[in-house]
Amino acid sequence: MILELLEHCLTPCTWTARSMGFLTSTIQVRARYQRCRAAWQPHLDRTRAAILAAARLATGRRKALLFGAGLLHDIPLRELAASFEEVVLADIVHSLPSRLAALRFPNVRLLTLDVTGIMKEMPRLRDSPAAPLPASSPQVYLDDGRLDFSVSVNLLSQLGWVPGRFLRGGRPEADLAAFQKGLILAHLEYLRQLPGHTALITDVRWRAQPHAPGEAAREWEVLQGVRLPEPEWAWDWDIAPAPERERGVDYAARVHGYADWKGAGIAGGWEGKPAGKN
């Protein structure tokens, strides 16, 4: 507890990330990882393998960019650092252990980045519920000719969920839902626009499975109604086995992996980009 408090004080972090709860959540996720390590391991292995398989599809080996690198649990950092000239780990918060881990590789760089580009406006928007909610249109790296590979790692569902939680209460639910969905669609489109090869790994659905006989499982989707195309890979992430989140209930996330998001997105016709359109 004292260590967590210290980490909270010492971690370099923007005011926005601190006030919106990103830093607290990073510290909590690390603690959860330590408790649920064995249950998470298959998901972490699948994610690492998916990132490496996707990276092999990139035609160049100059710069790799990872969105949502966070605590690095699911990032094959050593392998990426060995195969790309430069690896950029992007996240809105970098924990102290991630900062230390990155220091071991001279070609790995941390980038503190809000991939939506609009989180800094959230505190003002919460205080002004009549102000219109902005549209996200990320531009960073769009003109980087050295970028050969980008992957979004278990981040997409958070893009809507965290600001939704922050703004909830002050605005009509429908406006908030449309805003959250817009953030997710903007990230998918951004991945499509980035130069180089792009890949996507994301949870799409959660399931709560009660242990009690006769109690039905509950399932809900976590992408604000955005429908993704058929994935290349899919697996379950036992994210909170009982009693982590609730006594007698196991929580699992369904994860989809797309080794080639530009190809999958266009062929599958994900919402926001009809099939066949470039």
Residues that bind ligand SAM (CB under 6 A): 22, 26, 29, 68-75, 91-93, 113-116, 119, 153-155, 158-159, 162
Which of 273, 224, 73 minimizes the C-alpha distance to 153?
73
> Nearer to ligand SAM by C-beta: 69 or 266?
69
Decide whether 22 or 270 has the Cβ nearer to ligand SAM.
22
User: In the complex, what is the shortest distance from the CB of residue 17 to ligand SAM, in angstroms, rounded to a whole number?
Assistant: 8
Structure tokens, 208: 């709560």
Min CB(148)–ligand SAM separation in Å: 20
Q: How far is the CB of 76 from ligand SAM (least distance, A)?
A: 11
Burial of 270 (0-12, 13-18, 19+ CB in 10 A): buried
**Nearest residue (beta carbon) to ligand SAM:** 70
Q: Among residues 160 and 265, whose Cβ is nearest to ligand SAM?
A: 160
Query: Do the beta carbons of residue 270 and residue 227 sit within 8 Å?
Result: yes
CB of residue 50 to ligand SAM, shortest distance in Å: 12
CA separation for the pair 180, 197 (Å, rounded): 26
Contacts of 63 (CB under 8 A, 6+ apart): 84, 85, 86, 87, 88, 144, 146, 147, 148, 149, 196
Taking the complex as a whole, the smallest distance from the CB of residue 276 to ligand SAM amounts, in Å, to 30
Q: Is 182 exposed, middle or buried (0-12, 13-18, 19+ CB in 10 A)?
A: buried
Q: Which is nearer to ligand SAM, 88 or 119 (CB)?
A: 119
Look at residues 214, 222, 213 and name the one whose alpha carbon lies nearest to residue 251.
222
Output 74 or 148, the one with its CB closest to ligand SAM.
74
Measured from the CB of residue 109, what is the shortest distance to ligand SAM in angstroms?
15
Query: 150 vs 266, which CB is nearer to ligand SAM?
Result: 150
- Sign, Cα dihedral of 98, 92, 224, 168: positive
Which residues are paired to 207 by β-bridges? 219, 252
